[in-house]
Structure 1
């Protein structure tokens, strides 16, 4: 194995990374660097980085120290510099944890369905492909990203537990909700979209019933039927599922399955996109 293949879900709240050696996750908060008088430790994912001349903090430290909010860029597109930093930090963490001898990478990452346009995908690919020298927590590493695929979020999750037939997916993130209609593993554009709200952007993120009703109201505009088979994924899938099932009676939690060798590991539904992206990357670049 000369090239490491990964699936990277560079979410607004947490990044999820899946590869041949296992999984990783970390907070994706980012803030600008400043000299600290007292160097507190906020979490195991604290990172001080320098990438392409930009110095900053990432992870739990950025969540607490950012002077402009929570250190996260929300929106319905991932074609921006913060995504590049998140992906490079995700790769670096994976290499540090599992396989520090790799330098060459091929990956699939995601873009919300609403902005899954060729120009947006090309922008994400072009900013990631190439040789990157990064410095994290005082250690310099060269990462060579050779191949990049950009899959639609939500839709990519079907490949974490492939199945045929007519399936709807509700992928609930921190900044967006991707809702997907799939027929025999093919996306139906007219019944799929991205809602520009998420768990971290509503007034009360603990009020899962209200979030669920917002999702239900908007999916009925797409002519979803209450008897459809619906798979729910994302970090709050387990908590919000009972509220969604009140309307979508055949809804259930999507449990991603990571296949490695002859073994299968069932993961939390927050990893559904990352596992699906990894499966797509294996198919495209393996």
Structure 2
């Protein structure tokens, strides 16, 4: 099964051949449940290599001020891997070909180690059910840039506004343009609702990069900041259906997987 997997810090987004969905990415350490509620669709209790924790909607509900989601300009860490394995645990197959994402500024630096981290056989227990997950192939897409495949145009400047990073990606005729792209290691969860301030910073970076037209915003912060920025929302399209901007990367990753492995 080919899967496009956007392991964002706020929400995990997944695209398969017939399904696009999301749920909270929160992961917290396991703690005693004082009063048990019925588990909802995206409530997860997990065990992985001796580590026990709570994830998904339940983790978002139960986290305290001391719980912190792992952020930063790389996905080369165990929390990202656990998000991936929990997501794959929910899918009907056990054999996968995966495309994940990495912020622009650390893409080349960390790509091979991310592939090494993800590739191979993993075992994880989620809500009491153990599953063997076999990841046969792995590719690492560029956050923001890969989203262009979800609605291709000859020229795109894409601002991918995430919870921990903001990626500025330029794609012209299907080619990523390094000189007009960058990552800022600050996202929606770092700004304490100073939307005007972060919008001003985004516009300053757009000026520094020399962008003039064909500028779109996407990612989880796009809807929040759309009234503060003079740029259009980017609309990903999959299987003839339009989706909201936060799914653009996951759909783009899936499209990469199709090109690589669907013969």
TM superposition score category, shorter chain reference: over 0.9
Select 2:101's aligned residue among 110, 120, 123. Answer: 110
Partner of 2:112: 122
Partner of 2:210: 223
The CA RMSD measured in Å over matched residues stands at 1.6
Q: Report the secondary structure of 2:188's partner residue.
A: coil
Q: Gapped runs of 5+ residues in structure 2?
A: none
Alpha-carbon deviation of 1:22?
0.8
Distance 1:256 1:212 in 2: 22
Q: Which is further off, 81-90 or 215-224? A: 215-224
**Alpha-carbon deviations, 1:160-204, whole Å to 9, x = none?**
00111x321011001110001221121111110011111111122
Q: Which is further off, 80-89 or 59-68? A: 59-68
Partner of 1:277: 253
- Counterparts in 2 of 1:41 and 1:275: CA distance versus 1, 3 Å: same
Q: Is the 8 A contact 2:72 2:165 kept in 1?
A: yes
Q: Which is further off, 193-202 or 55-64? A: 55-64
- Is 2:189 aligned against 1:200? yes
Runs of 4+ in 1 over 3 A off after TM superposition: 40-44, 66-71
Select 1:240's aligned residue among 194, 204, 225. Answer: 225
Distance 1:282 1:200 in 2: 33
Q: Which is further off, 229-238 or 272-281? A: 229-238
**Alpha-carbon deviations, 1:34-87, whole Å to 9, x = none?**
222222468531100011221111012222333464541010000111110011
- Is 2:141 aligned against 1:151? yes
Select 1:257's aligned residue among 232, 237, 257. Answer: 237
Distance 2:184 2:205 in 1: 8
Partner of 2:32: 35
Q: Is the 8 A contact 2:144 2:158 kept in 1?
A: yes
**Alpha-carbon deviations, 1:115-161, whole Å to 9, x = none?**
111x4111111111111111100111111000010011000000000
- Counterparts in 2 of 1:192 and 1:146: CA distance versus 1, 3 Å: same
Q: Is the 8 A contact 1:62 1:70 kept in 2?
A: no
- TM-score of the superposition, structure 1-length normalised? 0.87
Alpha-carbon deviation of 1:21?
1.9
Alpha-carbon deviation of 1:32?
1.3
- Counterparts in 2 of 1:41 and 1:68: CA distance versus 1, 3 Å: farther
Q: Report the secondary structure of 2:226's partner residue.
A: helix
Q: Is the 8 A contact 1:32 1:66 kept in 2?
A: no
Q: Is the 8 A contact 1:159 1:276 kept in 2?
A: yes
- Is 2:36 aligned against 1:56? no
Distance 2:234 2:38 in 1: 35
Q: Is the 8 A contact 1:128 1:145 kept in 2?
A: yes
Partner of 1:47: 44
Q: Is the 8 A contact 2:163 2:221 kept in 1?
A: no
